[in-house]
Structure 1
Amino acid sequence: MLPGASDIGRLTSPDAFLWAVGIEDTFITAPHRGTGRTLDEYELTDHYGRWREDIGLMAQLGAPCARYGVPWHRIQPAPNVWQWDFVDAALERMLSLKIDPIVDLVHYGLPAWIDQAFLNPDYPHYVAEYATRLAERFRGRVRWYTPLNEPRITAWYCGRLGWWPPYQRSWRGFVALMLAICQGIVETVRALRRVDPEITPFHVDATDVFETDDPALAAEAARRQELVFLALDLISGRVNPGHALWNWLRSNGADEKRLESFAREPLELPIIGVNLYPIFTKKRILRDHEGRLRIRMPYASGDLVEKIGHMYFERYGVPLMISETADKGSVERRLEWLRRSVAAVGALRAQGIPMIGYTWWPMFALVTWAYRQGLRPLHDHLLQMGLWDLDPDPKRRLARIETPLVDAYRGLVSGGAAAVGRLATAEASVDRLRAG
């Protein structure tokens, strides 16, 4: 079983390492205006129909744990209605196969009945009640929970881009969403710990590395980089008048008392999950020929993983885990990223950076988010990033097709910590922090 909160330190022993997988679980329940489409990845990839088979594929890998999202919108389709059949069956199957679930409570979307989504004043209460009820059902058997996956991306799509409810389209909207989301995370963790003090909150966010070649954009790049850490900084009480974003947050509508409330009762960060992809994570800021700000995403080299490992450990000083990574395209390209990223994890461990786990995500192909806004058929939106492909032939009903990545990943899992090398001594980690 995954260690509880009082024993999380054993993951930093030299020979401990967690290999994991996960199934893409984006749930956007609001129909897109103009298409009527929603984005429930479990529905679109037929996981609701194939959950038993898909969890069996997890077991074939031998991974000791898996990130697994639970669909709140199906569990609680109305305020006073609770339907546990799917979640109970899926989590029980994982446990019976000796796979520890790392339960993903909120993955972007909320039940449709929560008016104004994250900006509903009762959202923190709703999410805490939901977390409480689920944790009570699996008390003592499920120890790790992700309160909300990728708070910054959630705030971006809901508050700045306006693609998802509540459809805000400004920096003030982003800040309002970020504060509401983080308050929900705080209330969720408190609720989980009331049920079982041994529950470990696994805080997961998307990480980006912002760069620019334009000196005039250096300050913007620095601000964007600070935004990458904002959710973790808020919930752990690091945002105060000396914080790099304090004045920016205040100028974009953040109430001083509300900001101070996070610092008064900060959450511990027992372990941080970083989501990184060579196709998405590196961001280059520039201006186009008309002077408009643009962000490009050049393909990242292997040093991306090491750079991010140093960034997070030097800032927070806690164990880290790659909670999502993969590449898209050919099997050869995916295998190469697997090799390079695992080697980078090994390099970090040799330097005393406690990178204690690795998750290939998604286990099989996902449906691109553009599906919700688009009109093309489902199979045109498959993004092959997995260990298994989803058959793109509509007549094959998304059959799971094993690729050579399955054997490669199974080999890594069977090697345990030896596949990435021993973690250097705690003293090396302390020395690294002092040097930083």
Structure 2
Amino acid sequence: MSESRLFSSFVMAGYECSSQRRGDGRRLDLQASSGHAKWVSQDYGRLAELGIKCARDGLRWHLIETRPGHYDWRSFLPLLQAARDQGIQVVWDLCHYGYPDDLDIWRPAFVERFARFAGAAARLMVEEGITAVTYSPVNEISFWSWAGGEVGYFNPGARGRGQELKHQLVRASIAAIDTIRAHMPDARFVQCEPLIHVIAGTQRAGDISRAEGYRLAQFEAWDLLAGRQWPGLGGREAYLDVIGANFYPQNQWALSAGKILRGDADFRPLAGMLAEVHQRYRRPVLLSETGAEGDERVPWLDYVATQLAAARARGVCIEGLCWYPFLDYPGWDDDRYCPAGVFGYADGEGSRASFHPLHQALQALGRNPELRR
């Protein structure tokens, strides 16, 4: 059986790299707080025992470009070099919610600066001897637009401007893709967006229409990139490469009754959701983020793996599964311990204890020929 066509292994390790400013002004840096930035070589080294040869990781733009047009790569080079030296293929996130403090995200300069930053990153990778690269330009445009532009949860802290922010992030992603392709014509791009399902929970026509509107909104960022909506933003089908679908246990809800959890009668099977995405775009699909906390980790992985097999049986081109995050981490809002990873916090020498049941389950999944072909 052959490995996945796009990625070096079907199972991927996702390293949390969020770097947004919270509403209270505090800058998050999950690569630092999880210890991954310090212990990246050890973290990548552990992947071999799991048969994992591919990861999602990220650049921290706010640390790299502290002055306009000046790039300090010291925060990124250890990750890039560790991946190269250990033979780990990485899908590099260029903007995972965070950006330099001097930038006004609403202005044209944001798009221009991001494109130049993306181009500089591509040139650096070429100089380091890495020429076949996959990027995720702007992570979760839809979620960021809601969190940062609609409800003021994190930067830029706006309310009622979600659609405006979504358009700006699409422009930035398009500009970055163009600049990267000028240096790396064979670069690939994963556009990662939350996969959701929303129902009304009532029989009222207005509620049903509103719920369907929320559900269909999950496709807007992909549609904008492809030029199917608002073509004046510059979107074209060529900007939509690999569909990255992020799916967690809390990604389904009823407007009138809150979350719909696995096991509930209204819970929509993941295989059907993936089939809808594939039918709409006819692109390869990566389950670019999935995971759960505590003792729900293994049952959730079992469910997702079964659903991926079912989706493949329906003709969906599934390229991989990324467990995210791969390391336990402190929560965004309160620093609570989040036991969501395959490995826990690092000790003073970079050692991490594994959550053995998940460790074993991922090993077995990586050997499953039905998901590797």
Q: Go from structure 1 to structure 2 and tell me whether the alpha carbon gap of 1:11 and 1:66 turns closer, same or farther (over 3 Å shift).
A: closer
Q: Does 1:206 align with 2:194?
A: yes
2:183 aligned residue? 195
Q: Does 1:154 align with 2:144?
A: yes
1:23 aligned residue? 15
Give the secondary-structure state (helix, strand or coil) at the position aligned to 1:201: strand
Q: Deviations over 1:380-434 (max 9, x none)?
A: x12111111338xxx9899622112123212322x26x05275xxxxxxxxxxxx
2:211 aligned residue? 221
Specify which of 252, 255, 264 is matched with residue 285 of structure 1.
255
Between Structure 1 and Structure 2, which shows a larger proportion of helix residues?
1
Q: Quote the Cα distance in structure 1 between the aligned partners of 2:231 and 2:155.
A: 27
Paired letter, 1:262: L
Q: Residues 101 and 142 of structure 1 are in contact (CA less than 8 Å); yes or no, is this contact kept in structure 2?
A: no
Q: Go from structure 1 to structure 2 and tell me whether the alpha carbon gap of 1:268 and 1:360 turns closer, same or farther (over 3 Å shift).
A: same
Q: Deviations over 1:220-260 (max 9, x none)?
A: 11110121111000010111xxxxxxxxxxxxxxxxxxx33
Q: Residues 321 and 358 of structure 1 are in contact (CA less than 8 Å); yes or no, is this contact kept in structure 2?
A: yes
Q: Quote the Cα distance in structure 1 between the aligned partners of 2:68 and 2:6.
A: 39
Q: Does 1:101 align with 2:90?
A: yes
Q: Deviations over 1:251-273 (max 9, x none)?
A: xxxxxxxx331367443422101
Q: Residues 100 and 142 of structure 1 are in contact (CA less than 8 Å); yes or no, is this contact kept in structure 2?
A: no
Specify which of 311, 335, 353 is matched with residue 401 of structure 1.
353
Larger deviation, residues 228-237 vs 333-342 = 333-342
Paired letter, 1:22: G
2:291 aligned residue? 326
> Structure 2 regions of 5+ residues with no counterpart?
none
Note the 1:234-273 alignment, pairs <5 A: 234-239=224-229, 259-262=230-233, 265-273=236-244
Q: Quote the Cα distance in structure 1 between the aligned partners of 2:58 and 2:70.
A: 20
2:340 aligned residue? 385
Q: Residues 237 and 267 of structure 1 are in contact (CA less than 8 Å); yes or no, is this contact kept in structure 2?
A: no
Specify which of 284, 288, 300 is matched with residue 337 of structure 1.
300
Q: Quote the Cα distance in structure 1 between the aligned partners of 2:64 and 2:134.
A: 19
Larger deviation, residues 205-214 vs 122-131 = 205-214
Paired letter, 2:14: G
Give the secondary-structure state (helix, strand or coil) at the position aligned to 1:91: helix
Q: Residues 60 and 98 of structure 2 are in contact (CA less than 8 Å); yes or no, is this contact kept in structure 1?
A: no
- How far 1:344 moved relative to its partner? 1.1
Aligned residue pairs total: 362
- How far 1:353 moved relative to its partner? 1.2
> Structure 1 regions of 5+ residues with no counterpart?
240-258, 287-294, 372-377, 423-436
Question: Over the residues paired in the alignment, what is the CA RMSD in angstroms?
Answer: 2.5
Q: Quote the Cα distance in structure 1 between the aligned partners of 2:349 and 2:162.
A: 39
Q: Quote the Cα distance in structure 2 between the aligned partners of 1:100 and 1:165.
A: 30
- Normalising by structure 2, we get a TM-score of 0.90
Q: Go from structure 1 to structure 2 and tell me whether the alpha carbon gap of 1:44 and 1:312 turns closer, same or farther (over 3 Å shift).
A: same
Paired letter, 1:354: C
Give the secondary-structure state (helix, strand or coil) at the position aligned to 1:46: coil
Q: Residues 186 and 267 of structure 1 are in contact (CA less than 8 Å); yes or no, is this contact kept in structure 2?
A: no
- How far 1:204 moved relative to its partner? 0.8
Identical counterparts, % of pairs = 23
Q: Residues 197 and 268 of structure 2 are in contact (CA less than 8 Å); yes or no, is this contact kept in structure 1?
A: no
For the pair shown, which has the larger CA radius of gyration, 1 or 2?
Answer: 1
